[in-house]
Amino acid sequence: MLRRYIFNFSKKYATLTASTTKTPAFGFSHAYALPNDFLRLLALGDVTINDDLEPGLYDISEGYIFTSAADGGTLNIQYIYDAKDVTKFDALFVRLLALHLAANMAYKFTKLNSLINAIRDDAADAALAAAAVSGQEKPPRRIERSRIIAMRRNLGGRNLTRFD
């Protein structure tokens, strides 16, 4: 559930240091070990000033973040962590988790597809409500990317869906 949805109670910031024992085989120059409680990456770089890295400039593999964009010293990340303190769980998260568990177990107990579909509909409604509340707690960030810089970094490419 924490990997599937973004809940504010499960966000965390960290500053990673470059690994001295791990080096990427090719493609990237630095490796940064992920935290032990890491579940999902949200942003890399300084997200407070919209200076996060584009996805093409890093890769996650083997419990590390590989990149050449960082200087080899430190790397700031925002991520979803494995929250285990149930007192911090959002009420909407608890409801959504209960509905997903109920939907997964309902057939074994009742064998009624209509009940399973009703529970799944409730879970979909709860997911929409949770996303709406989470989105209202912090306004969305506008991410602006320069087409010129993207072309220079060979990330832009030609848009084959447009006919100019």
Q: Are 119 and 102 in contact (CB under 8 A)?
A: yes
Share of the chain above pLDDT 90, in %: 18
Give me the mean pLDDT over the 112-126 stretch.
88
> Looking at the chain, how many residues does it have?
164
Q: Are 5 and 68 in contact (CB under 8 A)?
A: no
**CA–CA gap between residue 23 and residue 19 (Å, rounded):** 7
Mean confidence (pLDDT) of the chain: 80
pLDDT above 80 (res 24): yes
**CA–CA gap between residue 11 and residue 14 (Å, rounded):** 10
Strands (E), 53-156: 58-61, 64-67, 74-81
Show Cβ contacts of residue 39 under 8 Å, excluding neighbours closer than 6 positions: 2, 3, 10, 79, 80, 81, 82
Q: Are 18 and 53 in contact (CB under 8 A)?
A: no
Cβ count near 63 (within 10 Å)? 13
pLDDT above 80 (res 131): no
pLDDT tens across 45-87, in order? Answer: 766 655 566 667 888 988 999 988 777 688 888 899 999 998 9
Tokens of 62: 């083997």
DSSP string computed for 12-49: EEEEEEB-SS---SSS-SEEEEPPTTEEEEEEEEEGGG
pLDDT above 50 (res 163): no
**CA–CA gap between residue 4 and residue 1 (Å, rounded):** 5
More confident residue, 59 or 155: 59
Tokens of 72: 């080899």
Q: Is pTM beyond 0.85 here?
A: no
Q: Are 94 and 24 in contact (CB under 8 A)?
A: no
Q: Say what the pLDDT of residue 157 is.
A: 53
Q: Say what the pLDDT of residue 12 is.
A: 92
